Amino acid sequence: MRRLAPLLVALGAVAAVVVTYLALGGASYKPTPVADPCRTREWRNPGGLQAVLEQVVLSALDGAACDLGVSREDLVLALDDQDSLTAFAEEHGISSTDAERAVRNGLLRGLDDAEEAGALTGNVASLVRAAVERIPPSLLLDALQQLRALIGA
């Protein structure tokens, strides 16, 4: 019987974990639904430039995804590289011009959200808005990612 004691203790521990798991709803796992990109998300009180940039980019991606009728997550994966973007455009029946317009409009939405939240002053927002209207969106997104990496380092 002494030889079986460790095995019985281990089985008891496993049974306790499984019962607790099931009691807490572990058998009915449902993934969190993807958020609607057309709904404006509440802005946090940004603590610095990095937080503001992060929220502008997320809002921009939401705006672009809303224009294109896709989830923000699908759009982020499509923006990984040119091949991904081409495959995404073909899959959704859009042109690169449509995608560029959607990203530009999304960036403008992100700026509007930042201004409304008081995260950007009118002068800064005006300068950034002028850049968004004149520079190709792919270059802007690259610049924002590089700036965020520099600030976060």
Quick: pLDDT tens for 54-77: 888 888 888 889 988 898 888 888
Structural domain count, the chain: 2
Could you say which residues of the chain have pLDDT below 70?
Answer: 1, 26, 29, 45-47, 81-82, 138, 141, 144-145, 147-148, 151-153
- Alpha carbon distance 146, 148 (integer Å): 5
25: left (phi over 0), alpha (psi -120 to 50) or beta: left
Per DSSP, helices labelled H in 32-136 are 49-68, 72-78, 82-92, 96-116, 122-134
1/56 same-domain check? no
| Location of structure tokens 């049974």 | 15
- Alpha carbon distance 111, 103 (integer Å): 12
Q: Is residue 75 a part of any domain in this protein?
A: yes
State the sign of the Cα–Cα–Cα–Cα dihedral 60, 65, 67, 68: positive
69/15 same-domain check? no
Question: What integer pLDDT is reported at residue 148 of this predicted model?
Answer: 61
Give the length of the chain.
153
Question: What integer pLDDT is reported at residue 128 of this predicted model?
Answer: 83
Question: What integer pLDDT is reported at residue 61 of this predicted model?
Answer: 86
Question: What integer pLDDT is reported at residue 141 of this predicted model?
Answer: 67
Question: What integer pLDDT is reported at residue 97 of this predicted model?
Answer: 77
Question: What integer pLDDT is reported at residue 46 of this predicted model?
Answer: 63
67/15 same-domain check? no
Task: Domain of residue 16: give its range.
Answer: 1-30
Cα 126 versus chain centre, distance: 25
